[in-house]
Amino acid sequence: MKLKVTRNILTANEKIAEGNQKIFADAGVFVLNLMSSPGAGKTTLLEETIKRIKDRVKVGVIEGDIAGEDDAIRIDALNVPVVQINTGGACHLDANMISSVLDDLPITALDLLVIENVGNLVCPAEFKLGEQMKVAVLSITEGHDKPLKYPVMFQESGALVISKIDLKPFLDVDVEKIRRDAVSLNPSIRIFEVSCKTGEGLDAWVAWLLTTIS
Q: Which helix (H) or strand (E) element contains residue 151?
A: helix 151-155
pLDDT of 7: 64
Q: What is the CATH number of domain 2-213?
A: 3.40.50.300
pLDDT of 2: 41
The domain locations on the chain are 2-213
* Percent of the chain predicted with pLDDT > 70: 97
123: closest CA among 1, 3, 2, 6? 6
d(CA 67, CA 89): 8
Mean pLDDT on 67-82:
96
d(CA 85, CA 184): 34
pLDDT of 3: 38
Q: What are the angstrom distances between the C-alpha of 92 and each of 10, 117, 118?
A: 13, 6, 5
